Amino acid sequence: LRTKTHKLIYYYGCNYDGGYRTPPGWELYDLIQDPHETRNLYDDPDQAKLVTDLKQRLAKLRKRVGDDGSHYPVCEAIVQEFWDYDETDQAKAREISHQYLKRRQAELKAGKRNVLTHRGKLQK
């Protein structure tokens, strides 16, 4: 969600079918003070009210455009699970990050540079 002054980003941490998990997470950038988006303000206590407001606006926007997650239910479950992104959610995201690193290192060690990152079949 982008406003004139800020950008709130949510990374799902998965493909639309829930495959190839990476850590989900939120980012918030001040586009005036940090136009190159180098400093994530999401965890800054001074930004808590803004984060809450932008998340509410995002939820309303999703509803207005019909983005209820029904087309990608596995992905939507992850969105809902990590929506609050409290300390427990962040700890889960860190664990997913560790799992991703181990999986990716094993793939590279096995010579797999281009791996199938979704659960579904490839479309021809």
**pLDDT for the residue numbered 112:** 84
**pLDDT for the residue numbered 122:** 43
What is the secondary structure of 64-118 as a DSSP string?
Answer: HTT--STTSHHHHHHHHHTSS--HHHHHHHHHHHHHHHHHHHHHHHTT-SS---S
10-residue block means of pLDDT along the chain (124 residues)?
98 82 95 98 98 98 94 91 95 94 90 71 44
**pLDDT for the residue numbered 6:** 99
**pLDDT for the residue numbered 1:** 97
Say if CB 12 and CB 75 are below 8 A apart: yes
pTM: 0.82
Enumerate the domain spans of the chain.
6-109
Q: Could you tell me which residues are beta bridge partners of residue 26?
A: 10
Q: What is the largest CA-CA distance in the chain?
A: 50
